[in-house]
C-alpha cells in the first residue's frame, strides 16, 4: 500500500475508531490509546514506511509537534524519519479525534 495524504487520513480514522472502542468497551483513556497506537504503528517503526510517509505526506504539523515538544535531536536520518512519521500520524489522529467532539 502506498502511503500518501489520503491513506494517512484513512489510517488516522482507523486509529481514532480503535481508541474510541477501547474507551467505550474497556474504559481506557482514548488519547493515551492514540499515542500508544501511533508510537507502535508500522509507519512510525519501519524505516521504509516512515520515509514513504515523509516523502508523500504533508508533515508540517508533525514537524511542528516535534519542535513544540523539544524533540529535535536526531541520531540519524532514519531516526528523523520515524519521529516525523510518528508525530504526523499522531497529529492527524488527534485532529480527527477532537473533530468528533466539536
Triad 91, 95, 100: Cα angle to 5° = 150
How far is the C-alpha of 93 from the C-alpha of 56, rounded, in Å? 17
- For residue 29, the enclosing domain spans 5-100
For the segment 2-22, the average pLDDT, to the nearest whole number, is 98
Model pLDDT, residue 25: 97
All cell numbers assigned to 3: 502511503
Q: Measuring CA to CA, which residue among 64, 55, 53 is closest to residue 89? A: 53
Structural domain total, the chain: 1
Which three cell numbers mark 34?
Answer: 492514540
Query: 15-60 pLDDT, tens per residue?
Result: 999 999 999 999 999 999 999 999 999 999 999 999 999 999 999 9
pTM of the predicted structure, to 2 decimals: 0.94
C-alpha cell at 69: 515538544
Question: What share of the chain has pLDDT > 70, as a percent?
Answer: 99
Amino acid at each position: 500500500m502506498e502511503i500518501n495524504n489520503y491513506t494517512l487520513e484513512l489510517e488516522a480514522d482507523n486509529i481514532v475508531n480503535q481508541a474510541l472502542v477501547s474507551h467505550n468497551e474497556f474504559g481506557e483513556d482514548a488519547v493515551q490509546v492514540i499515542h500508544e497506537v501511533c508510537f507502535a504503528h508500522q509507519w512510525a517503526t519501519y524505516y521504509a514506511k516512515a520515509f514513504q510517509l515523509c516523502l508523500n505526506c504533508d508533515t508540517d504539523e508533525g514537524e511542528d509537534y516535534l519542535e513544540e515538544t523539544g524533540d529535535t535531536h536526531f541520531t540519524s536520518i532514519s531516526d528523523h524519519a520515524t519521529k516525523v512519521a510518528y508525530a504526523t500520524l499522531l497529529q492527524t489522529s488527534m485532529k480527527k479525534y477532537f473533530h468528533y467532539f466539536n
